Amino acid sequence: MKLKTKAWLVSQGLLIVTAIIIQLTFYGEIKVGPMLGMPKREYWQIINNEEPDVPDFAREQNLSPKMYDARLDLTAEEIKFANLGAYRKAYRQEEGLRTALKGGIIVNVLYLLAFHALFFYISRQIPPKTN
């Protein structure tokens, strides 16, 4: 295996391991779902931005979404009145998890391009070995 391939595999592997640690840490910090009474959602539901199910109690009582859905643009008073503080935080954490994944992918693609461009440049700058 060429030195270039080894260097790329090691460095890219470190970037991927770092991205996985970030994802696991962000996901581990989420405690509840984005709606009142909702448990923590599965990782792939969050990443795929799947629409969560409306809680049964909200459907049965015909509640306004402002009373149970922390994803809505609510004022601080509305959040406090509906007791949605933890759920609003969970919604922001889910958004952060998706953003971190997209950012990790972009960083890895940029690194791939930069690594090969730098390796090409450096290999052209080093004179060939003559005996």
Choice between 42 and 58, residue whose per-residue pLDDT is larger: 42
Question: Is residue 131 one of the residues assigned to a domain?
Answer: no
pLDDT tens digits, one per residue of 59-92: 899 989 999 999 999 899 988 998 999 999 999 9
Question: Is residue 105 one of the residues assigned to a domain?
Answer: yes
Question: Is residue 130 one of the residues assigned to a domain?
Answer: no
In angstroms, rounded to a whole number, what is the distance separating the alpha carbons of residues 42 and 49? 11
Stated pTM of the model: 0.82
Residue 93's domain comprises 3-125
Query: Quick one: tokens of 113?
Result: 């391009």
Question: Is residue 13 one of the residues assigned to a domain?
Answer: yes
Question: Is residue 97 one of the residues assigned to a domain?
Answer: yes
Per the structure, the count of domains in the chain is 1
What phi, psi does 55 have (nearest 5°)?
-60, 145
Question: Is residue 25 one of the residues assigned to a domain?
Answer: yes
Question: Is residue 68 one of the residues assigned to a domain?
Answer: yes
Q: Answer yes or no: is pLDDT of 129 > 80.
A: no
